[in-house]
Amino acid sequence: MQWTKVLGLGLGAAALLGLGIILGHFAIPKKANSLAPQDLDLEILETVMGQLDAHRIRENLRELSREPHLASSPRDEDLVQLLLQRWKDPESGLDSAEASTYEVLLSFPSQEQPNVVDIVGPTGGIIHSCHRTEENVTGEQGGPDVVQPYAAYAPSGTPQGLLVYANRGAEEDFKELQTQGIKLEGTIALTRYGGVGRGAKAVNAAKHGVAGVLVYTDPADINDGLSSPDETFPNSWYLPPSGVERGSYYEYFGDPLTPYLPAVPSSFRVDLANVSGFPPIPTQPIGFQDARDLLCNLNGTLAPATWQGALGCHYRLGPGFRPDGDFPADSQVNVSVYNRLELRNSSNVLGIIRGAVEPDRYVLYGNHRDSWVHGAVDPSSGTAVLLELSRVLGTLLKKGTWRPRRSIVFASWGAEEFGLIGSTEFTEEFFNKLQERTVAYINVDISVFANATLRVQGTPPVQSVVFSATKEIRSPGPGDLSIYDNWIRYFNRSSPVYGLVPSLGSLGAGSDYAPFVHFLGISSMDIAYTYDRSKTSARIYPTYHTAFDTFDYVDKFLDPGFSSHQAVARTAGSVILRLSDSFFLPLKVSDYSETLRSFLQAAQQDLGALLEQHSISLGPLVTAVEKFEAEAAALGQRISTLQKGSPDPLQVRMLNDQLMLLERTFLNPRAFPEERYYSHVLWAPRTGSVVTFPGLSNACSRARDTASGSEAWAEVQRQLSIVVTALEGAAATLRPVADL
Ligand SMILES: *[C@@H]1O[C@H](CO)[C@@H](O)[C@H](O)[C@H]1NC(C)=O
Ligand SMILES: *[C@@H]1O[C@H](CO)[C@@H](O)[C@H](O)[C@H]1NC(C)=O
Ligand SMILES: *[C@@H]1O[C@H](CO)[C@@H](O)[C@H](O)[C@H]1NC(C)=O
Ligand SMILES: *[C@@H]1O[C@H](CO)[C@@H](O)[C@H](O)[C@H]1NC(C)=O
Ligand SMILES: *[C@@H]1O[C@H](CO)[C@@H](O)[C@H](O)[C@H]1NC(C)=O
Ligand SMILES: *[C@@H]1O[C@H](CO)[C@@H](O)[C@H](O)[C@H]1NC(C)=O
Ligand SMILES: *[C@@H]1O[C@H](CO)[C@@H](O)[C@H](O)[C@H]1NC(C)=O
Ligand SMILES: [Zn+2]
């Protein structure tokens, strides 16, 4: 009904115009204005900024986090319905909304046979057991839907052995234990979160013959050293002693059975025996009160200073317990894991606002919906913002006040916590369509880690739109600063082009933006409010992935008043409007020049001599970077010139396509055959220490100690050619379209 109204208005205007022409155009000179192309409307922007309501975000969060909503659980499905209902609301909904389902492989602990960690005495009896659940501190930790802490995708098994302490479970940590003469075969390794990824701890341990892995969160890493109940939640924002970080230990992302294919019923599925990327040995996370019982009773030599933590004792390496401790010296630790793999239906919800002028250009905005437990922060703080944004935009839409130039697609992804599954399956199913039509992807997962400052990760073309947006929004907290001016106080860098600016982080694979940037090559960003690093060293907000991540936790400690949530909503809202409504796309491709230049300089300074020794020239790379810089600058010039006149919309569309497609030119699906999905040659994972093109950095670090003519040096040359070809291709895309 509202749609017909918009159409009706349009026809009316056309009729008037027709009449004007018949009457002679002097009769209605002002109507000429209606021929101006639809562009960003600052009044609409102001209205949206004003209507984004902190109180409503708070109420959204209360509802979203009322019950645990683990992926594919009944409550997760209830939230699918809640989203559909909001997005189909006649007063504040979108043009259309629907859920779509994938059948994916998830991992759960057994209900009947909980995972247990026991200390087994010399005669085989259990003399001590770790807690199986978190303490029911606020009454929300003891509910039937609180999933027991577990390491998703860790295999079942019941290893038992002497305990060793392996710091963060990095390869170098196990090497250190070996150097110390500790026999690792058949042991249980106690590790702490941080340093390397979850799954990597088990992979590294297994390489050394370790039979089982325990993972805990040290109060030094999460609680600024504090560990007693009166210093932790609900008395502060710190993690209670029984809190346990759950998480996926899968090494890749996407549904494990259907790599590169959507997990629809008809798709080919890999044989379970052939799935790679699961942890090789049983693994179980525990809380630091349990870790203290284990670690503070270890025998053996003192662990290195950097391995010490805040459990209030000297950490030793083991193996086994000390004779004068709480347990008999030859006691062992038994880790019994009964996790099960299960096929489950997991839903994405998509809501669409059709663009008025360029409906075939999409601005995508998304967050996951599934949590580990109540997930007030992760992910509901983001979903609460998503719902408020869609309400405000939906209301303007239904009133007939506004319709964007381009289409806006809102997404609520399923099963992110298990490995970005819903978003990855979506990118697999609609690979071509999304690549051809998506202008940018905006991700707001955890919207508020803490209330000090904005933090943005993204590819260079999004920098300028985020800057434009944040300069116009007041920052919460004391003083009269813009979000931009507050942000620059916490994260800044000196740009050769702009001087001191806020610094954007780069995108790894921590949330649903990963398939969009790495697999599809879509310019992407992730937006949140975060810490003042001078006030805390917590590696993430302390109750992350525990049963203490609740509404009250956010309401009392993270963001009382919800002004940081509102700041994120305004930032994301302004970015969405600018991307969907601006006549010229606000993607500044020349901002890639700085990145390329700094990668090139690092390659010249830190790899130049080595490459020269092996007769490899960086000359073609220098030429390619220079060409890119020149073409990006020239395109910027053409846009400024056009902006001064009244350009033909078709001409602008051609330029906008160049801006949109630039990110795509950096993809090479053959660049990293050992990686899954990663194909963006500038942002693939870097293991080499030189901060340059990742393929080049990694290849050089592998080739360094091999002879010229080795396969490793051939790979360096291949990687160099891949980068040169990508940059030449990027420059060609930016060139005037009639030139080849
Ligand atoms: C946790 O506390 C709540 C409120 O006090 C109570 O209703 C619930 O039964 C408790 N759960 C367990 C497992 O003790
Ligand atoms: C560990 O404990 C489980 C359960 O009690 C038991 O079945 C298993 O045999 C034990 N593991 C070893 C290696 O003894
Ligand atoms: C599993 O992988 C092996 C080795 O790649 C292959 O020979 C075998 O056919 C695969 N099995 C299935 C069922 O796909
Ligand atoms: C405890 O460790 C010391 C050396 O650090 C070793 O000499 C001793 O044998 C160990 N005791 C037991 C019971 O493992
Ligand atoms: C997923 O849903 C489809 C269609 O409703 C159903 O046929 C299938 O059995 C479901 N799969 C699982 C694992 O529940
Ligand atoms: C963040 O929250 C704390 C605790 O409520 C408050 O003291 C502080 O002023 C807030 N900071 C900002 C920047 O809003
Ligand atoms: C830049 O950031 C650092 C912290 O990384 C901060 O100490 C400094 O004051 C900031 N500079 C400005 C001008 O705000
Ligand atoms: Zn999340």
What is the 624 CA–ligand 3 centroid distance (Å)? 42
Smallest CA-to-CA distance from 456 within 389, 522, 530, 384 is with 530
pLDDT per position as a tens digit, 198-227: 999 999 999 999 999 999 999 999 999 999
Specify the residue with its C-alpha closest to ligand 6, atom 1. Answer: 451
- Say if residue 219 is preceded by a cis peptide, omega within 30 of 0: no
Structure tokens at 386: 């998503």
What atom of ligand 4 comes closest to residue 320's alpha carbon? 14
Amino acid identity, residue 492? Answer: N
Of 323, 315, 393, 386, the closest CA to residue 349 belongs to 386
Residue 34 has pLDDT above 70, yes or no: no
Atom from ligand 6 closest to the CA of residue 558: 2
How many Cα atoms occupy the beta-carbon half-sphere of 507 within 13 Å? 33
Instruction: Tell me the pLDDT tens digit for each residue of 458-469.
Output: 999 999 999 999
Highest CATH level, class, for 39-107+343-533+553-581: alpha beta
Predicted confidence (pLDDT) at residue 665 exceeds the cutoff of 80: yes
How many angstroms separate the alpha carbon of residue 544 from the centre of ligand 8? Answer: 9
Length of the chain (residues): 740
Q: What is the pLDDT of residues 172-195, one digit of tens each?
A: 999 999 999 999 999 999 999 999
| Closest CA to ligand 3's atom 3 | 274
Which ligand has an atom closest to residue 559 CA? Answer: 6
CA distance readout (Å), 227 to 142, 144, 221, 246: 21, 27, 11, 19
Model pLDDT, residue 319: 98
Give the Cα separation of 407 and 713 in Å (integer): 47
The CATH code that applies to domain 114-338 is 3.50.30.30
In sequence order, the β-bridge partners of residue 493 are 501
Type and span of the H or E element at 216: strand 212-216
Q: Is 295 left (phi over 0), alpha (psi -120 to 50) or beta?
A: alpha
How far, CA to CA in Å, does 354 sit from each of 13, 289, 345, 560, 591? 20, 53, 28, 36, 30
Counting residues of the chain whose pLDDT is more than 70, the rounded percentage is 95
Residue 5 C-beta-side C-alpha neighbours within 13 Å: 9
Q: 427 and 520 in contact (C-beta within 8 Å)?
A: yes
Any ligand 7 atom below 6 A from CB of 301 = no
Per-residue CA distances from 211 to 75, 156, 190, 285, 541 (Å): 36, 12, 11, 15, 31
Q: What is the pLDDT of residues 278-335, one digit of tens each?
A: 999 999 999 999 999 999 999 999 999 999 999 999 999 999 999 999 999 999 999 9
Instruction: Output the ligand 4 site: residues, CB below 6 A.
Output: 299-301, 320, 322-323, 329
Which CATH number fits the domain 591-734, given the four candidates 3.40.309.10, 3.40.640.10, 1.20.930.40, 3.40.1790.10? 1.20.930.40
The answer to the question of whether 472 is labelled as a binding residue is no
- Directed axis angle between helix 592-613 and helix 619-644, to 10°? 170
Position in ligand 4 atom list of the atom nearest CA 330 = 13
Cβ burial, residue 123 (10 Å; 0-12/13-18/19+): exposed
Q: Which of 160, 162, 338 to mutate for ligand 2's pocket (most ligand atoms within 8 Å of CB)?
A: 160
The reply, when asked if residue 428 is annotated as ligand binding, is: yes
Ligand 5 pocket mutation pick from 257, 345, 348 by most atoms within 8 angstroms of CB: 345
Q: Residue 100: CB within 6 Å of ligand 5?
A: no
Average pLDDT over residues 466-480: 95
Q: Which residues' Cβ are closer than 6 Å to ligand 2?
A: 158-160, 334, 336
Residue 616 CA, ligand 6 centroid: distance in Å: 54
Q: What is the DSSP string of 690-730?
A: S-S-HHHHHHHHHHTTS-TTSHHHHHHHHHHHHHHHHHHHH
Mean of pLDDT values over 321-350: 97
371: closest CA among 558, 146, 564? Answer: 146
% of residues, the chain, pLDDT over 90: 94
Looking at 67, 358, 416, 631, which residue is catalytic?
416
Name residues whose C-beta falls within 8 Å of residue 173's C-beta, 6 or more positions apart in sequence: 166, 167, 191, 204, 307
Contact in structure between 219 and 225 (CB atoms under 8 Å): yes
CB contact at 8 A, 584 and 639: yes
pLDDT grade, residue 477 (50/70/90)?
Answer: confident
Whether residue 274 has its Cβ less than 6 Å from ligand 3: yes
Q: Is 492 in the pocket of ligand 7 (CB under 6 A)?
A: yes
- Over residues 714-738, the mean pLDDT reads 97
Nearest CA to ligand 1 atom 14: 142
Q: Do 229 and 204 touch, CB atoms closer than 8 A?
A: no
Mutation probe of ligand 7 site: the residue of 490, 493, 530 with most atoms within 8 A of C-beta? 490
**Cα separation values, 290 from 230, 293, 305, 332, Å:** 18, 5, 22, 15
Q: Check residues 325 and 10 and name the one with the higher pLDDT.
A: 325
Q: What is the pLDDT of residue 14?
A: 40
How far apart, in whole angstroms, are the C-alpha atoms of residue 22 and residue 642? 31
**Distance of alpha carbon 124 from the chain centroid:** 45
CA of 375 to the centre of ligand 6 (A): 22
Do 529 and 448 form a contact (C-beta atoms < 8 A)?
A: yes
Give the tens place of pLDDT for each residue, 114-144: 999 999 999 999 999 999 999 999 999 999 9
pLDDT in tens, 386-399: 999 999 999 999 99
How far apart are the C-alpha atoms of 421 and 564, rounded to whole Å?
A: 28
pLDDT of residue 4: 36
C-alpha angle 348/438/522, rounded to 5°?
A: 90
- In the structure, ligand 8 is a single-atom ion and the residues with CB under 5 Å from it are 378-379, 445
Cβ atoms of 492 and 498 closer than 8 Å: no
Residue with the nearest Cα to atom 3 of ligand 7? 490
Contact present, 289 and 135 (Cβ < 8 Å): no
334 alpha carbon to ligand 2 midpoint, in Å?
6
> Is the CB of residue 368 less than 8 Å from the CB of residue 423?
yes
Tokens for 475, please give them: 């920052």
Instruction: Tell how far the Cα of 237 is from the centroid of ligand 8, in angstroms.
Output: 19
Give 227-245 pLDDT, tens digit per residue.
999 999 999 999 999 999 9
Decide if 626 is catalytic: no
The protein residue with its alpha carbon nearest to ligand 6, atom 12, reads 477
Closest ligand to the CA of 447:
8
Q: Which of 236, 449, 451, 532 to mutate to test the pocket of ligand 6 (most atoms within 8 A of CB)?
A: 451
Residues 6+ apart with CB under 8 A from 30: none
List the structure tokens of 509: 């694979």
Q: What's the pLDDT score for residue 11? A: 39
380-386 mean pLDDT: 98
3-state secondary structure of 396: helix
Distance of CA 32 from the midpoint of ligand 8 (Å) = 49
Asked if pLDDT for residue 21 goes beyond 80, the answer is no
Answer whether 521's CB lies under 8 Å from 666's CB.
Answer: yes
Q: How many helices (H) and strands (E) does the chain have?
A: 21, 19
The whole-angstrom distance between residue 635's C-alpha and the CA centroid of its chain comes to: 31
Alpha-carbon span 377 to 548, nearest angstrom: 10
Residue 16 clears pLDDT 60, i.e. is over it? no
Both tokens of residue 482?
């813009």
For residue 351 the two structure tokens come to 């809501």
How do residues 518-549 score in pLDDT, each as one tens digit?
A: 999 999 999 999 999 999 999 999 999 999 99
- Among all bound ligands, the one having the nearest atom to the CA of 159 is 2
| Averaged confidence pLDDT in the chain | 95
Q: How far away, in angstroms, is 153 Cα from ligand 3 center?
A: 21
Burial profile 255-285: b = 16 or more Cβ within 10 angstroms, e = fewer: bbbbbebbbeeebeeeeeeebebbbebbbbb
What is the per-residue pLDDT for 312? 97
Q: State how far the alpha carbon of 633 is from the alpha carbons of 393, 496, 647, in Å.
A: 35, 15, 19
Half-sphere exposure of 492 (CA within 13 A, CB side): 12
Which pLDDT belongs to residue 194? 98
Give the start-to-end residue ranges of the domains of the chain. Answer: 39-107+343-533+553-581, 114-338, 591-734
